A = this chain, B = another copy of it.
Amino acid sequence: MDNLELIREIATPSPSKIVLLVIDGLGGLPHPRTGKTELETASTPNLDKLAASSICGLTDPVGPGITPGSTPGHLALFGYDPVKYNIGRGVVAALGIDFDLKPDDIAARGNFCTLDNAGLVTDRRAGRIPTEKCAELCKLLDEIKIEGVNLFVRPVKEHRFAVVFRGEGLSPEISDSDPQQTGVAPKVVKALNPAANTTADIANEFVARARTILARHHPANMVILRGFSSLPTIPTMDDIYILKPAAIAAYPMYRGLAKLVGMQLLKTGPSISDEFEALKQNYAGYDFFFLHIKGTDSAGEDGDFDRKVSVIEEIDKALPALTGLKPDVIVVTADHSTPAILKGHSWHPVPILLYSKWCRADRVGEFSETACISGGLGRFPAIQIMPLAMANALKLAKFGA
């Protein structure tokens, strides 16, 4: 019996409400000059006050030393073993744009990219073309016809798009064309087993046609594809937790992840205050809210320590809009660390605070990586966050006699 089966057995509906605030990439590393992380540098009186009446700790999204992608990081937060449920990037991209993915569809995440005259990738993001340009180019690619398959090309955001192949006997067991670096040519897609030969041929045919069509659209003169995948079989949060869950996320990928586990996607504007407003507007209708804030991760990825600090301070200012709703349980954490000095995701455990009337608060009075080391939650795997939140919401019955 795995963790989810156990929880499913004891989950009990109740009117209590849980808010999971995910500050993407929150965890950081000290600034060499000050010795303080982004979170420790930011002025966060509201988070600190909440931490003082919460139980705190550090959580490992996948495991110590493992740097998680966004998908495993979020699956763990929702209580799903991220190693067992390894969801393809293509599926997440397609779900994130509300594409109605069918069980046998093969989806891939695409980037428009820039090739030089020698056919080598010079920019994997084609200078981050505007989303409007992306949409226009996707329309062109969507016209491509390949025998034996229906294909759909849909814009995501900036240089990102999703492509879906629909047909008989397709297989997701094919390799990426994205070389994950510049200065080399895009890779030929290869079948990872013989049953996937046809699908690999189709993907390569699509790439070749796209290259021809895009030739005159520099900097977006090529595509690279990755994460070929089809829909996994995954139980919904309603099924496991008997929750009515809703997601507030401005970025498509996180909306896709939320939809995958059965959350209702709520309308929201792009800013932090928009998202908190969406929470307020929809607060009566659901008993679980996943509120996702992207700006911290983007700033970390860009290596912009100060911007990450600013985003954290903006969240802190908005926090009373959340705490004012008086949720029974509030969890504030992240899907992974994104230290600005590493300019990318990292393996460092993430600070977490959990507030409830029954949380048995510890002595941590500040929300920071260093303070959370001394927290009552200790250091623990992120898949245990949902059982803890459910317990604190009095939504779990006793296990065993």
Which residues of the partner chain B approach A346 to less than 8 Å between Cβ atoms? 358, 391
Which residues of the partner chain B approach A347 to less than 8 Å between Cβ atoms? 387-388, 391, 396
Write the nearest CB–CB distance from A256 to chain B, whole angstroms: 11
Our pick among B1, B72, B348 for the contact of A360 (Cβ within 8 Å) is B348
Our pick among B37, B363, B378 for the contact of A370 (Cβ within 8 Å) is B363
Which residues of the partner chain B approach A344 to less than 8 Å between Cβ atoms? 398
A152 in contact (CB, < 8 A) = no
A64 touches B387 (CB 8 A): yes
A370 touches B379 (CB 8 A): no
A294 in contact (CB, < 8 A) = no
B379 touches A378 (CB 8 A): yes
User: Closest chain B residue to A369 by CB distance?
Assistant: B360
B401 touches A71 (CB 8 A): yes
A399 touches B58 (CB 8 A): no
A30 to B399, CA, bound (A): 24
A63 in contact (CB, < 8 A) = yes
A82 in contact (CB, < 8 A) = yes
Q: With A360-B29, A373-B375 given, is the CB distance from A67 to B398 under 8 Å?
A: yes
Write the nearest CB–CB distance from A153 to chain B, whole angstroms: 19
B400 touches A86 (CB 8 A): yes
Q: Which of A65-97 contact B (CB under 8 A)?
A: 65-73, 82-84, 86-89, 92
User: Closest chain B residue to A62 by CB distance?
Assistant: B399
Write the nearest CB–CB distance from A82 to chain B, whole angstroms: 7
Q: Which of A8-26 contact B (CB under 8 A)?
A: 10
Which residues of the partner chain B approach A208 to less than 8 Å between Cβ atoms? none
Copies of this protein in the assembly total: 2
A277 to B389, CA, bound (A): 43
Our pick among B62, B342, B389, B400 for the contact of A69 (Cβ within 8 Å) is B400
A380 in contact (CB, < 8 A) = yes
Which residues of the partner chain B approach A37 to less than 8 Å between Cβ atoms? 360
A339 to B360, CA, bound (A): 10
Q: With A369-B360, A375-B373, A398-B345 given, is the CB distance from A391 to B66 under 8 Å?
A: yes
A6 in contact (CB, < 8 A) = yes
Our pick among B58, B71, B88, B400 for the contact of A82 (Cβ within 8 Å) is B400
A128 to B346, CA, bound (A): 51
Which residues of the partner chain B approach A66 to less than 8 Å between Cβ atoms? 6, 10, 387, 391, 396, 399
Our pick among B10, B58, B109, B227 for the contact of A378 (Cβ within 8 Å) is B58
A376 in contact (CB, < 8 A) = yes
A71 touches B400 (CB 8 A): yes
Which residues of the partner chain B approach A58 to less than 8 Å between Cβ atoms? 376, 378
B362 touches A401 (CB 8 A): no
A3 in contact (CB, < 8 A) = yes
A140 in contact (CB, < 8 A) = no
B65 touches A391 (CB 8 A): yes
User: Can you list 29 residue pairs at the A/B interface with Cβ under 8 Å?
Assistant: A6-B83, A58-B378, A62-B399, A63-B384, A64-B377, A64-B391, A65-B384, A65-B389, A65-B391, A65-B392, A66-B391, A67-B396, A70-B401, A82-B399, A87-B401, A89-B401, A109-B401, A347-B388, A347-B396, A348-B360, A362-B370, A363-B370, A363-B373, A370-B376, A373-B376, A373-B378, A377-B379, A378-B378, A379-B379
Question: Nearest 8 CB-CB pairs, A to B?
Answer: A65-B387, A378-B379, A89-B401, A69-B400, A72-B400, A65-B391, A347-B391, A65-B388
Beyond known contacts A66-B391, A92-B401: 20 more, CB 8 A cutoff: A6-B63, A6-B66, A30-B360, A62-B400, A63-B387, A64-B384, A64-B388, A65-B392, A66-B396, A70-B400, A71-B400, A72-B399, A73-B400, A344-B398, A346-B358, A347-B388, A347-B396, A370-B376, A373-B374, A373-B378
